[in-house]
Chains A and B, each alone.
Chain A
Amino acid sequence: ETGVTQSPTHLIKTRGQQVTLRCSSQSGHNTVSWYQQALGQGPQFIFQYYREEENGRGNFPPRFSGLQFPNYSSELNVNALELDDSALYLCASSRPGQEYGYTFGSGTRLTVV
């Protein structure tokens, strides 16, 4: 029980489609980050939200967008899916003042065909 829940666990989409991935963080965790992990690689930072606003972004195009809601849930939206978007998408959260140890969810495995 990690305290961070992601849905769905697996998803298959067609190239060009749009997808929304969801994350539910622990109560009080007002910072959420999203990561993309390709097979055999380490996770890559997509962006972070703090108090419902984006406050950090990695090297990902604008078709990757997100939302954070007051109830500690968040979404990752990807438009115009490409085959290279196939990956494990991870959500991680932290609470105010937390020094270390982001809590990660188990991820959503997205396959684009």
Chain B
Amino acid sequence: LAKTTQPISMDSYEGQEVNITCSHNNIATNDYITWYQQFPSQGPRFIIQGYKTKVTNEVASLFIPADRKSSTLSLPRVSLSDTAVYYCLVGALIYNQGGKLIFGQGTELSVKP
């Protein structure tokens, strides 16, 4: 599975848009890009997944350039409750990868008032 690189930490203020970029230079053709959010002492929670171009849901947007070597998670108008660790994962759809999700260290997002 492709290795990912993302910033260790980011700071933001309430109401701002936050963009977290993930680098995955060795992404394979059948790999998808998935982002999870994790609050302290809780399990990760699925946010969004995409293969190419742009995906948007009620929580976030995911931008993937044509070469797919990076991706950007965009959180619009963050609030204090968005303070969490965000993980970028790259791999095949879960029913094709034997269950193995490879998490990096993630990006610790701190939203301030």
Contacts and interface: CB of A to CB of B under 8 A. Distances in A.
**Size bracket of the B interface:** 20 to 34
Interface stretch (B15-23, B64-72, B94-102): B94-102
A42 B94 contact: no
Given A107-B41, A107-B42, A107-B43, A43 B101 contact: yes
A31 to B, nearest CB: 6
A24 B102 CA distance: 23
A106 B98 contact: no
Interface in B55-113: 87, 93-95, 98-106
Contacts of B42: 104, 106-107
Interface of A: 2, 4, 31, 33, 35, 40-45, 48, 50, 55-56, 58, 88, 90-92, 94, 96-107, 109
Given A90-B43, A91-B43, A104-B43, 13 more contacts: A2-B45, A31-B99, A35-B101, A40-B105, A42-B103, A55-B98, A56-B100, A94-B94, A101-B34, A103-B46, A104-B42, A106-B41, A107-B41
